[in-house]
Structure 1
Amino acid sequence: MVRLEGVGKVFPATRKSSAVTALSSIDLSAPKGSITAIIGRSGAGKSTLIRLVNGLERPSSGRVLVDGEDIAQLPEDRLRHIRRSIGMIFQHFNLLSSRTVFDNIALPLEIGGMARKEIAERVTPLLELVGLADKRDRYPAELSGGQKQRVGIARALATRPKLLLSDEATSALDPETTQSVLELLKRINSELGLTILLITHEMEVVKSIADNVAVIDGGKIVERGSTFDVFTHPQHHTTKVLLSGVPGMQLPAYAQAHLSQERREGAEVVLRIVFSGPHATDPVLSRLTGELGVSLNILGGAVDEIAGKPFGTLFVSFLADEARLERVRSTLAGLNLTTEVLGYVA
């Protein structure tokens, strides 16, 4: 549905500032019917990228293809037509305070010249879809943050788009409301087959609903892949930093403070064990203690679900020479579990 090929974006110099390279050599694709997340720190280029996809900015180099059409090469009338097939939801809702819920959702249809009867036939089922049928005559000031975002989602769906762009759509919401909005987006993706391109810095959002993820840093894609693979085996430093706040992904701070890369007499090796797939719930610790006689100290860990797949991380320490350490790692590898030596603690 979306393909970026060698895309660059340079904002020219002004009297007050020099030229800024916002994006460089971006190659990215979002398959039809998928939820693809783009994550990165503030200023990494996420919002510029999404503005290229809906044609609000034009690339300085490369091609931006939406459903096979090169956005930058389209005349204005054709671009307006393509934009109707691209829905957009925003961080701060962008609702008109003087219009009711119904009329906010109807706005793009009115602009498109649709008759009032047809608008009612289009908007009414959308109100049902987002769970706001009883709020149709309310005004934004009477709604909660989650309800406002549901109005924004319904409005984005009013033109029956093929693609939905979400720019930090949940970052202004509390955790419980965020979860309800994410469940709605998943349902829309499943029932309508809608492709969703998600810009966010919230790893919990990505973990919950994204099929694929791309990590952007300094205007470049530094890592990409399935959400499960990127989260369970991050390769780039930026990815590891972004994931550091996800429970169970990092060694707890109290242990991190005493970690050393140098092995000393009497120190215990610290091992990170990654549980995934069919072995995510296996009784591994009892096997290590029973078969190998290894006495383990548990330093931390978590069992979770990433992109619908079970996943767990466990941090343990134990006294071991090189031979015993290799036996432990070999045993775990035989169970298709991956391990990483993080260092040593006294």
Structure 2
Amino acid sequence: MAHPSSQALRSPLRGVLSLLQPVPASGAVPVARGDGPAVAALEDIDLSVARGEIVGVIGRSGAGKSTLIRLVNGLESPTSGRVVVDGIDVGTLDERALGPVRRSIGMIFQHFNLLSSRTVFDNVALPLEIAGVDRAGIRRRVEPLLEMVGLADKRDRYPAELSGGQKQRVGIARALATQPKVLLSDEATSALDPETTTAILDLLAGIQRELGLTILLITHEMAVIRRIAHRVAVIDGGRIVEQGEVADVFAAPAHATTRSFLGAETGRGVPAWIAERLQTEPVEGGKTVLRIVFRGEHATDPVLSQLSRELGIDVNILSGSIERIGGSPFGILLVALPGDAAAQARAARFLADRELHTEVIGHVR
């Protein structure tokens, strides 16, 4: 993951974490498909993760997310380009040299990967035992970690006695045992229920703030990105098709894959009772359906009441939501305005003057 600059992960990779220097169409890890020719699992990747940043990588199954993770921790080597973690080109190292680098990279797994025959304490202690730390040193390290993840009272329990959320807390503590600079999370919440997912994500965000960790978060759920990521990269077919600040991408997704992932997130979806009536062309005497994105300082402003009062335009709110994304207020409203072009133009200028992103969804009778 990278080094102190904001240029962290590029694929060719660059940053505390970097996948760097994009290459022509041959560019990353070839994977054999049956008896056929090798294909590129990742290609022309250019991604950086700055120190202390949480970057989410989202994609469907088979998009290349897991291969990207394996590049970062040295389990795969790029056929071209570089994978740079804290200034070290991981792809150039042999197994012996990879040991210290891997200890600086913590890993959280989807299915926990705990040893059933070891207690909670001993599962967390395992990487320290492998590193040759003495028992007193292990105790000094493990006990505060169990406190941090809320499992001090479960130290002598076995995995079979724990809930899914508790198992993942053990996995998080284990990932932190060697005091890593970078934390990799591979679908860490996809096996958990929504309430537990929220608790685990909040725990990760708190740990990141407390320890200043750099986190690369792999997921197929936009709700995970929305909850804790600072930036997001969307991967499709082995390529990054869109990336940016989370709020920017949520406000105006540029790629079809991103829009499909957003779906009903943050009020973006059109309710079925409206969708079934939408038409692409204006309807005489009808209304235009508009999506308005409210961000930052304007997220809680009474913009629609001002629009109605100052311009005399009636606005019908159809659906919406407001929350925090990327640490700032973020809201989406679906509204209906009078369908005549003059009223729409006036409303569009009014909203643009307040730096609000708008999008015409369609027209209804």
The answer to whether TM tops 0.5 is yes
Residue 193 of structure 2 corresponds to 174
- Structure 1 residue matching 2:288: 3-state secondary structure: strand
Inter-partner Cα distance in structure 1 for 2:307 and 2:158: 61
- Deviation sequence 1:160-210 (CA, Å, 0-9, x none): 111100000011111111111111111111111111100001111111110
1:247 alignment partner, SS class? helix
1:4 to 5, 19, 31: 19
Within 5 A, what are the aligned runs for 1:16-95?
17-95=36-114
Matched residues, number: 345
333-342 vs 305-314, which moves further = 333-342
Aligned pair partner of 2:183 in 160, 164, 178? 164
1:242 paired residue number: 261
Deviations 1:69-108 (A, max 9, x none): 1111112211111111111000100000000000000111
Structure 2: gaps (5+ residues):
1-15
Shift of 1:13: 5.2
- Quote the Cα distance in structure 1 between the aligned partners of 2:109 and 2:196: 15
Aligned to 2:306: 287
Deviation at 1:127?
0.9
SS of the counterpart of 2:267?
Answer: coil
**Partner-residue secondary structure (3-state), 2:157:** coil
Give 1:302's aligned residue.
Answer: 321
Aligned to 1:154: 173
Aligned counterparts of 2:180 and 2:283: Cα–Cα separation in 1: 61
Which residue in the other structure is 2:203 paired with? 184
Paired residues of 2:285 and 2:339 also in contact (CA < 8 A): no
Task: Kindly provide the amino acid, as one letter, of the partner of residue 64 in structure 1.
Answer: V
Opposite residue 78 of structure 2, the aligned amino acid is P
2:140 and 2:307 map into 1 onto residues whose CA distance is 63
In structure 2, the partner of 1:278 is: 297
1:255 aligns with 2:274: yes
CA positional deviation for 1:10: 1.1
SS at match of 1:26: coil
Gaps spanning 5+ residues in structure 1: where?
A: none
Q: Which has the higher contact order (CA 8 A, sep 6+)?
A: 1
Matched, 1:341 2:363: no
Moved more, 163-172 or 54-63: 54-63
Deviation at 1:253, TM superposition (A): 2.3
Give aligned-pair identity as a percent.
62
AA aligned opposite 1:10: P
For 1:197 and 1:318, how far apart are their aligned partners in 2?
Answer: 42
Q: Matched residue of 1:191: which SS?
A: helix
Residue 235 of structure 2 corresponds to residue 216 of structure 1: yes
C-alpha deviation, 1:155, in angstroms: 0.5
The partner residue of 2:335 within 282, 293, 316 is: 316
The AA in structure 2 aligned to 1:77 is R
- Superposition RMSD in Å: 1.3
Query: Where does residue 136 of structure 1 map in the other structure?
Result: 155
Cross-structure match for 2:217: 198
Q: Distance in 2 between matches of 1:85 and 1:56?
A: 14
Whole-angstrom distance in 1 between the partners of 2:264 and 2:331: 15
Distance 2:97 2:189 in 1: 31
Distance (Å, rounded) in 1 between the aligned partners of 2:141 and 2:351: 56
Offset at 1:225? Answer: 0.8
2:141 matched residue in structure 1: 122
1:288-345 deviation line (CA, Å, top 9, x unaligned):
2222222222221111211111011111112232111111111112222221112211
Asked if the contact 2:251/2:357 (under 8 Å) is kept, the reply is no
Equivalent of residue 117 in structure 2, options 98, 119, 137: 98
Distance across 2 between alignment mates of 1:318 and 1:213: 33
3-state SS of the aligned residue for 1:25? coil
Once residues 135 and 307 of structure 2 are traced to their aligned partners in structure 1, the CA distance between those partners, rounded to angstroms, is: 69
Q: Which amino acid aligns with 2:162?
A: L
Write the distance in 1 (CA, Å) between the matches of 2:210 and 2:306. 44
Contact 2:316/2:336 (8 A) holds in 1: yes
Q: Return the letter of the residue paired with 1:286.
A: S
Q: Structure 1 pair 74/281, CA: closer, same or farther in 2 (3 Å)?
A: same
Letter paired with 2:32: P
In the TM superposition, what is the alpha-carbon distance from 1:250 to its structure 2 partner?
Answer: 2.2
